[in-house]
A and B are shown apart, each in its own frame.
Chain A
């Protein structure tokens, strides 16, 4: 079988222990779901990265969304996973509970559905909680452009978009970092290309392999990364060529560039990272829900929560190291976002590990 023969090749290539990180939560799920980690040679350690947009959305943003959803007449909409993430106050619940209590919370599968909602309800304010990495930012940008073109005065965006390269940089430079090479998130690179990763490699001299999401592609990515480590030749290698072009998607990049500017952004678990978030540039800033509803940039503290998601998102702990894992913290009542999202490491371990 191709996967097991790749695993044998990987074992034969390895002459010393290496620690790699798969950046994207989709990759983490594919790895744990396929049991690929059971096939790795003992010397190869995988750390799960922070590439789960739901997991890193700061509690303060969830709190703001919960506050907005409680306003009479307002429609709050977002993607599915976001509706189940608890805010900083466990008693305040999540957006689904807010909906049960009477809030008008809608689930979208495409940001442009928010446009249709705003048009259908001109007398009501519609707020789109926009989260995600570089993969979903172009769609949010498109929404902003169309909303502005239509002069829709009742649509606004509560933004929590994040960028992957600053998070990789933060992980590399964190004290006690153990990551020696990355599997980069293929879908992000399909939009952004590989130039930012090349800068990262030049600066920090570690290999980055752009990888897909199929078990076979992941195993190939791991093999390539270990080969680069063993050869001592750090570089960016695109092992997801069927999807990723080196220049990414220029039209999507231009759209993101037109609508957003880079700002510091707080990541749940990682803290504030420079130039890691997106804010609406003028004239799109008039769509900013924080401006429209005068929401302060509050930081939320989460008292008494034993969740160690910060350490898990930095790759310093494994989900099973958490005392609450599978006990107090389960998908039905998550204490932290990695247990909620279909891309969270804790949910992957809980669902799939025997």
Chain B
């Protein structure tokens, strides 16, 4: 029988110690570090950013990523959206009895690799095991601490009429990769998740002295939800040019077939930046080579998002309501 997680792996005894020593220790930067009840951290100068997120996704592995890479990258990206360099993470695992050890190993290796590429160190963690049928293989919660490097507060309330809106790359690939894996859709060519760390790009923008009024990563709900949240939070109208939105042909075609709007699909390595017009060119010089685009602007008006179609007409861009479901015909 293939080795798998048993209840005793969370029981605090020798099996749990083995699990930590043999399977989980590689998560930590210093594998020899004594795992105490709490990690002691140097206090960096400046403001701290602090964020937490839980990850539940089926399937656990998909084209271009897995729940492990999502859990690390997602929280590190949330910190980056506050203009903060991600420094420290905690990782709490809830494992379901029966989870194949081989799968856990792959996910742990993926978490370790993601932490390295995000430049973040996993400092503390926890493991629990629940009975078969009471979990979904694995749930992961990560919390992160970063140090704010942006000179001004990056916040929806800093958005001004006249600001320009940019997106950092092509849209919808992560959501489509998950839907394809979940519903057994054999997309040809396969569409890979865009899961990637965002801090390196934010760091470059800050280094180029681009003033950022607001950043928002485009996770659940996609671009549509992110823009709507910002427009409503600030009470200003966002006007977006449809023809500027970067959507890969393969993604657009699959969405057409399945009845999805790529603007509602989740991304895990994309953000929108809202910034003053005089900083547009410098920001675009950094973003455009990576597939980023200038997609619109902020103006006085009700807190809503208007999309100008390629035909010169205008329509509302609303967030998704309810679950994303494939259509009938």
A residues engaging B (CB < 8 A)?
A: 1, 3-4, 26, 32-36, 38-39, 53-54, 79-84, 96, 107, 109, 113, 131-133, 135-136, 187, 215, 330-332, 341-343, 350-354
Task: Tell me which of A32, A38, A132 has the highest count of chain B C-beta atoms within 10 A of its own C-beta.
Answer: A38
Contact partners of B187 in chain A: CB under 8 A: none
Contact partners of B312 in chain A: CB under 8 A: 1, 4, 39
| B209 sits at the interface (CB 8 A) | no
How far is the CB of A343 from the nearest CB of chain B, in Å?
A: 7
Q: Are B316 and A343 in contact (CB under 8 A)?
A: no
| Residues 290-329 (chain B) with a chain A CB within 8 angstroms | 304, 306, 309, 311-316, 318, 321-323, 325-329
Can you pick out 19 interface pairs between chain A and chain B where the beta carbons lie within 8 Å of each other? A35-B309, A36-B311, A38-B314, A53-B329, A79-B326, A81-B325, A81-B327, A107-B183, A107-B325, A109-B183, A109-B326, A132-B328, A136-B329, A331-B322, A342-B327, A343-B327, A353-B316, A354-B306, A354-B315
Q: Are A35 and B322 in contact (CB under 8 A)?
A: no
Please provide the 3 A-B residue pairs with the shortest distance between their CB atoms, ordered closest to farther: A35-B313, A80-B325, A331-B321
Q: Are B316 and A352 in contact (CB under 8 A)?
A: yes
How far is the CB of A95 from the nearest CB of chain B, in Å?
A: 11
A215 CA / B259 CA spacing, docked (Å)? 16
In the complex where A332-B322, A342-B259 touch, is A354 in contact with B311 (Cβ < 8 A)?
no
A215 CA / B315 CA spacing, docked (Å)? 14
Q: Are B328 and A53 in contact (CB under 8 A)?
A: yes
Q: Main secondary structure on chain A at its contact with chain B? A: helix
In the complex where A331-B321, A354-B306 touch, is A35 in contact with B326 (Cβ < 8 A)?
no
In the complex where A34-B309, A39-B311 touch, is A351 in contact with B316 (Cβ < 8 A)?
yes
| B250 sits at the interface (CB 8 A) | no
Q: Are A81 and B328 in contact (CB under 8 A)?
A: yes
| B39 sits at the interface (CB 8 A) | no
Total number of B residues with any Cβ neighbor in A under 8 Å? 23
Task: Tell me which of A26, A132, A215, A352 has the highest count of chain B C-beta atoms within 10 A of its own C-beta.
Answer: A352
- Which partner residue on chain A sits nearest B321 by CB separation? A331
| B8 sits at the interface (CB 8 A) | no
Q: How many A-B pairs with Cβ below 8 Å? A: 87
- Which partner residue on chain A sits nearest B302 by CB separation? A354
Q: Main secondary structure on chain B at its contact with chain A? A: loop
Q: Are B309 and A54 in contact (CB under 8 A)?
A: no
Q: Which of B184, B316, B325, B329 contacts A354 (CB 8 A)?
A: B316
| B185 sits at the interface (CB 8 A) | yes
A264 CA / B319 CA spacing, docked (Å)? 39
Q: Are B321 and A332 in contact (CB under 8 A)?
A: yes
How far is the CB of B17 from the nearest CB of chain A, in Å?
A: 38
Task: Tell me which of A33, A80, A331 has the highest count of chain B C-beta atoms within 10 A of its own C-beta.
Answer: A80
Q: Which of B259, B313, B322 contacts A34 (CB 8 A)?
A: B313
- Which partner residue on chain B sits nearest A84 by CB separation? B322
How far is the CB of A352 from the nearest CB of chain B, in Å?
A: 4
Contact partners of A96 in chain B: CB under 8 A: 323
A169 CA / B57 CA spacing, docked (Å)? 48
Q: Are A354 and B314 in contact (CB under 8 A)?
A: yes
**Given A1-B311, A84-B323, 4 more pairs with CB closer than 8 A:** A33-B309, A35-B313, A38-B314, A341-B327
